[in-house]
C-alpha cells in the first residue's frame, strides 16, 4: 500500500504522480515520462503502463525515483492512434510538430477521434477490486482499459482481451488473448467477473474457474454508441454517448439487472447530455456528463433516480468515488468533491494539469 497517491496519465506523454494526503491541497510531485501512454494499473509498489505497442513495468516504491523493471515488447500491436489508423508494430512515433488547424467536415462523417486522461489510485481498492488481501490493488476509473484482479492483469484493445500473469509482479508474463468485439473501449472488474464495454454493448466474462482463460457468460447489446460501464451486486450502470467514432446518437444511462448474468435485462433508461465516466458509492451515483459537468444521483430507487447535485461549468471525463471524496478528471485538471454530507457536497480542490 502506497498511501494517498494518485496516478494521472497525460495521454501519449506519461504519468503525473499526485500526493493527495491532503485532498484540499493536492501536490503534483513527480512525472513519469512514458511516451505513447494511454492506460495504467497499480498493484502494491508496481505500476503497469502501455508504451506505444509495449507493456512497461515500473517499481514505484519511491515515487520520486521510479525504476523500470521490464518491457514486454509488441504485446499491443494494434494500438490505434486516430480514426482508422493503426500502429505499425515495427515503428513508433517519436516526435511531431504541433500547429493550430481548422478542420471542416460533414455532419455525417465519422468525426475526429481524441483521447483524454485516465486516472488510478494507489491505495486500498473498493470492493470491486478486492480479489486478494495483499498487496493493495489500485482503483481505476470506469474509462479504464487495464484491470487488475488477483494475480492477473487484463487489458483490452480495439478488438481483444489480453491476459498477463503477474504472480511475480515485476515480471508479467503474457498468458492469453481472445477476440471480444469490434471497438472495445473499457474493462471493469467486479468480484469474479469482467465487464467489457464496446461500441455495441457490454460483455460479461467469468474469471472464477480459470483466471487466465476468461469465459463469456453474458452480454447486453445496445444501439451503436460509446459505452463505459460499472457494476454493483445487482445492477450494471452503462453510459452511452454519441460523437467521435462512436457513430451513435444516444446519450443516456442504461440500468441493467444482473441477477442472471447469462440474460442481462434492461431495467430503465435515463436521458443525459453526453455521459462518459461514472462511479458509485452506496446509493450515490456520480456521472461525468460532458459539458454539463458532474451529476450526482440518489439511486436508492432504481426506477426513479433523483438528481441531488450538479456541478456545471466544467467538461468532465471520468470519476472515482472513494473514501467520501469524488476525484473528477476534467478537461482542465483534477477536481475533488467532498460528499461525506450528501446535503453539502462541495468542491475541496482543483489541480491544474499542464498539457
Measured CA to CA, the distance from residue 62 to residue 65 in angstroms comes to 5
Nearest to 122 by CA among 48, 224, 210: 48
Could you tell me which residue, 264 or 48, shows the higher pLDDT?
48
**In the CATH hierarchy, which fold is given to the domain comprising 272-355?**
Thrombin, subunit H (2.40.10)
pLDDT at 223 over 60: no
Q: What is the dihedral of CA 262, 267, 273, 279, to 10 degrees?
A: -60
pLDDT at 246: 52
Q: What is the dihedral of CA 286, 144, 352, 7, to 10 degrees?
A: 120
**Average pLDDT in the chain:** 83
pLDDT at 10 over 90: no
pTM: 0.83
pLDDT at 268 over 90: yes
Cell numbers describing residue 63: 515515487
Among the ranges given (64-68, 180-184, 200-204, 261-265), the one the predictor scored with the smallest mean pLDDT? 180-184
The full set of domain ranges for the chain reads 1-86+113-179, 272-355
Give residue-wise pLDDT tens across range 129-144.
Answer: 333 344 555 667 777 8
Binned at pLDDT 50, 70 and 90, residue 110 comes out as very low
Average pLDDT over residues 284-294: 96
Amino acid at each position: 500500500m502506497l498511501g494517498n497517491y494518485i496516478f494521472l496519465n497525460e495521454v501519449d506523454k506519461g504519468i503525473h504522480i499526485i500526493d493527495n494526503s491532503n485532498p484540499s491541497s493536492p501536490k503534483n510531485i513527480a512525472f513519469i515520462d512514458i511516451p505513447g501512454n494511454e492506460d495504467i494499473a497499480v498493484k502494491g509498489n508496481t505500476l503497469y503502463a502501455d508504451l506505444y505497442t509495449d507493456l512497461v513495468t515500473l517499481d514505484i516504491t519511491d515515487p520520486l525515483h521510479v525504476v523500470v523493471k521490464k518491457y514486454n515488447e509488441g504485446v499491443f500491436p494494434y494500438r490505434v492512434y486516430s480514426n482508422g489508423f493503426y500502429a505499425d508494430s515495427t515503428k513508433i512515433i517519436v516526435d511531431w510538430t504541433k500547429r493550430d488547424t481548422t478542420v471542416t467536415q460533414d455532419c455525417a462523417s465519422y468525426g475526429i477521434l481524441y483521447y483524454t486522461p485516465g486516472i488510478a489510485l494507489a491505495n486500498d481498492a473498493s470492493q470491486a477490486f478486492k480479489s486478494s488481501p495483499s498487496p493493495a490493488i489500485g482503483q481505476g476509473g470506469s474509462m479504464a482499459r487495464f484491470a487488475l484482479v488477483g494475480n492477473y492483469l487484463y487489458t483490452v484493445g480495439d478488438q481483444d482481451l489480453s491476459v498477463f500473469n503477474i504472480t511475480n509482479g515485476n515480471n508479467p508474463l503474457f498468458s492469453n488473448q481472445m477476440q471480444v468485439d469490434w471497438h472495445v473501449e473499457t474493462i471493469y472488474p467486479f468480484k469474479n467477473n469482467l465487464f467489457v464495454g464496446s461500441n455495441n454493448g457490454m460483455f460479461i466474462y467469468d474469471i472464477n474457474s480459470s483466471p487466465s482463460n476468461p469465459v463469456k457468460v453474458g452480454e447486453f447489446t445496445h444501439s451503436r454508441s460509446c459505452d463505459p460501464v460499472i457494476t454493483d451486486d445487482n445492477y450494471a450502470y452503462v453510459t452511452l454517448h454519441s460523437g467521435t467514432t462512436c457513430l451513435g446518437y444516444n446519450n443516456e444511462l442504461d440500468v441493467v439487472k444482473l441477477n442472471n448474468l447469462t440474460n442481462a435485462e434492461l431495467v430503465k433508461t435515463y436521458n443525459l447530455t453526453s455521459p462518459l465516466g461514472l462511479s458509485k458509492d452506496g446509493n450515490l451515483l456520480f456521472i461525468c456528463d460532458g459539458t454539463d459537468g458532474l451529476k450526482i444521483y440518489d439511486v436508492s430507487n432504481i426506477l426513479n433516480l433523483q438528481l441531488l447535485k450538479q456541478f456545471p461549468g466544467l467538461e468532465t471525463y471520468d470519476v472515482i468515488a472513494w473514501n467520501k471524496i469524488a476525484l473528477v478528471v476534467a478537461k482542465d485538471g483534477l477536481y475533488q468533491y467532498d460528499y461525506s454530507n450528501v446535503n453539502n457536497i462541495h468542491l475541496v480542490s482543483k489541480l491544474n494539469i499542464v498539457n
